Amino acid sequence: MFLQKAIDILVIIIGSFLYAFGLNYFIVANHLAEGGFTGIALILHYKLGWPVGTVILIGNIPLLIISWKLWGWEFISKTILGVVATALFINITAGYQLPVDDLLLAALYGGVSTGAGLGLVIRYGGTTGGADIIGRLFNHYWGIRMGKFYLIFDFLVISTVAVFFGLTISLYSLVTIFVFSRFADYIIEGLDAANQALIISEHSEQIAQAIDKELERGFTYIKGKGGYLGKDKEIILCVVGKWQIFRLKRIVKSIDSKAFVIVSDVYEALGEGFKTD
């Protein structure tokens, strides 16, 4: 358990550095922008000269406090690590920049590097805060789906970029956002909407409770019988978001290292916690 936590922390730090370096080296150097909270920080940096990392850190403080009160320390502990590490690395690497003549190259490489960095952070249980926390708050209080929130939030940020810096910069920034999101998806868990897991264990009730508490996902018991001993079993069927499958496997392993888990891709998931139409 300690070794896994140490690995999580190390990879989150590495991912934060990769994200920060890519942001400065390609995106800031060529006056491009991103979506989300980082996009707002970049706008303030370009217009007022405020340090990007400092804006991200200060802006996340009230969000982290609210998250702590609503969801507890377990939820925000790795988020704090991701936010602080990212903010510090952004300020530290601010002098490393690569202005290029071709903005498309800057947009592509900036999207790849920042997407890979954020993908590593999320894959190992952290986030960089900002829009992720705000999106969860909107979902918690008003039931707005995370995907819809990100779409609206990014649209507003890029529209602001277009107003202040022109259509060309905003269009190249859209390329960055697209590559960023696709590459982050590849790092996290492919491009599929969700994953289905069938879990066969002697500790099915304990695993099911952990899924409900830690992942806030529903599950279904399926009656089964072992082919070798003929013993009745309760098989857990659970569908989780692609960003949660690594946490699910870790939960199962921590409770029953001998559990038999089948993970398969789900092309589309409809219902509570997923798309509703």
pLDDT, the chain, mean = 87
Cβ neighbourhood burial of 50 (10 Å; 0-12, 13-18, 19+): middle
Q: Which among 39, 29, 132 has a CA at the least distance from the CA of 83?
A: 132
Q: Is the pLDDT of residue 101 over 80?
A: yes
State the sign of the Cα–Cα–Cα–Cα dihedral 221, 223, 227, 228. Answer: positive
Q: Domain locations in the chain? A: 2-189, 194-266
d(CA 157, CA 254): 41
- CA 261 → CA 12, 34, 257, distances in Å? 26, 38, 10
- Tell me how far apart the alpha carbons of residues 221 and 81 are, in angstroms, rounded to a whole number: 36
Given this model, what pLDDT does residue 176 score?
Answer: 93
Q: Which pLDDT score, from 0 to 100, does residue 193 have?
A: 59
- Model confidence, pTM: 0.71
The fold of 194-266 is: Alpha-Beta Plaits (3.30.70)
Q: What does the pLDDT look like over 6-59, one tens digit per residue? A: 999 999 999 999 999 999 999 999 999 998 899 999 999 999 999 999 999 999
If you average pLDDT over residues 96-109, what whole number do you get?
92
Token pair in block for residue 142? 């008003």
What are the respective helix, strand and coil percentages of the chain, to the nearest 5? 65, 10, 25
pLDDT of residue 192: 47
pLDDT in tens, 124-168: 888 888 888 888 788 778 888 766 787 788 899 999 999 999 999
Confidence of residue 274 (pLDDT cuts 50, 70, 90): low
